[in-house]
């Protein structure tokens, strides 16, 4: 009898001791405007998240990284609505834990995850799509890292530009803008083109995704390239040869080499390749 009174007293005491801890374990409730490291938390509205992921044409083959993940909503939407793998990088540890909880609640823990990290330290070079809702200065600080990513990587920013790197698309929803870019291959400089049994010198001037070029047609003659266009690693251009025929080229850039197919308006066609000098 004495023994059971002791046990009951012990249980009651441990229950009382546990109370303050239980009271402290209220669910974490993030507050809009709360501090992050470089920018406060303000969530992107659902319809803007949806448009951002559609602009990037996200599919199940993509790996989407949201820089500054907040409550995880972009990483979750990428996994849940588009079947992508995703990662959100969030500096605020409480927020990162909360966002990971949201990932689990949304049933996408197999494809999405939130890491507690700093966007200027955590590696996201493997992303095929990068999303962000940061600040103009932070976009500019990230720009060199983004431009060094694999050509063809798609980037979407809610509200903020990347200054003189013009967007490839701007969408607006209820006054909010989303900007879209494709990381361009590096073409700048001189190349040797081989096509139709001939060799010509190609020279490109590049400013982000905008390219202009010339083709050597004789010792003193440089023809201008027409309709030169670069989208990620896809390139197309045209030039008029010494017989007056327009030749259209399209292909793909892989580092120091590019190759594809060409077609002349006289019916000639074939494969082409170029190597960087």
Ligand X SMILES: C[S@@+](CC[C@H](N)C(=O)[O-])C[C@H]1O[C@@H](n2cnc3c(N)ncnc32)[C@H](O)[C@@H]1O
Minimum Å gap between C-beta 208 and ligand X is: 24
| Three-state DSSP class for residue 82 | helix
Judged by CB under 6 A, which of 133, 181, 237, 249 binds ligand X? 133
Tokens at 252, concatenated: 């793909």
Span interacting with ligand X, options 88-96, 142-150, 255-263, 264-272, rule CB under 6 A: 88-96
Rounded Cα–Cα distance for residues 162 and 231 (Å): 17
Residue 65: which residues within 8 A CB-CB, separation 6 or more?
86, 87, 88, 89, 124, 127, 129, 130, 131
Minimum Å gap between C-beta 135 and ligand X is: 8
CB 112 within 8 A of CB 76: yes
Question: What is the distance of C-alpha 248 from the center of its chain?
Answer: 30
Asked if 124 is part of the footprint of ligand X (rule: CB under 6 A), the reply reads no
Judged by CB under 6 A, which of 65, 70, 127, 272 binds ligand X? 70
Minimum Å gap between C-beta 173 and ligand X is: 13
Each residue 90-119 as x (binds ligand X by CB under 6 A) or -, in order, gives xxx--x----------------------xx
- Euclidean distance between the first and the last CA atom of the chain, given in angstroms as a whole number: 95
Q: Which of residues 26-55 bind ligand X (CB under 6 A)?
A: 36-39, 41-44
Question: What is the distance of C-alpha 213 from the center of its chain?
Answer: 28
Asked if 74 is part of the footprint of ligand X (rule: CB under 6 A), the reply reads yes
Position of minimal CB gap to ligand X: 36
Q: Which of residues 205-244 bind ligand X (CB under 6 A)?
A: none
Distances (CA, A) of 219 to 43, 72, 185, 190, 222: 60, 59, 29, 16, 8
**Which of 43, 260 has the CB closer to ligand X?**
43
Positions touching ligand X (CB under 6 A) are 36-39, 41-44, 66, 68-70, 73-74, 89-92, 95, 118-120, 133, 158
């Amino acid at each position: 009898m004495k023994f059971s009174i002791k046990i009951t007293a012990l249980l009651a005491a441990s229950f009382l001791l546990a109370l303050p801890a239980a009271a402290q374990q209220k669910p974490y409730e993030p507050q809009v405007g709360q501090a992050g490291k470089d920018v406060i938390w303000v969530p992107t509205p659902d319809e803007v998240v949806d448009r951002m992921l559609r602009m990037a044409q996200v599919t199940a083959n993509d790996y989407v990284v949201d820089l500054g993940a907040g409550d995880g909503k972009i990483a979750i939407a990428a996994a849940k609505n588009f079947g992508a793998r995703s990662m959100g990088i969030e500096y605020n540890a409480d927020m990162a834990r909360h966002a990971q909880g949201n990932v689990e609640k949304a049933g996408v823990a197999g494809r999405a995850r939130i890491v507690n990290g700093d966007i200027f330290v955590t590696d996201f070079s493997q992303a095929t799509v990068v999303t962000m809702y940061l600040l103009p200065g932070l976009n500019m600080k990230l720009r060199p890292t983004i431009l060094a990513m694999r050509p063809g990587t798609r980037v979407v920013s809610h509200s903020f530009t990347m200054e003189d790197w013009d967007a490839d698309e701007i969408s607006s929803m209820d006054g909010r803008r989303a900007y879209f870019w494709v990381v361009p291959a590096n073409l700048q400089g001189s190349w040797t083109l081989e096509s139709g049994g001939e060799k010509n010198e190609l020279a490109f001037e590049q400013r982000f995704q905008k390219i202009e070029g010339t083709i050597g047609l004789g010792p003193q003659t440089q023809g201008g390239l027409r309709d030169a266009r670069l989208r990620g690693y896809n390139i197309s251009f045209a030039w008029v040869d010494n017989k007056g025929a327009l030749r259209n080229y399209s292909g793909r850039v892989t580092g120091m080499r590019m190759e594809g197919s060409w077609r002349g308006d006289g019916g000639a066609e074939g494969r082409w390749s170029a190597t960087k000098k």
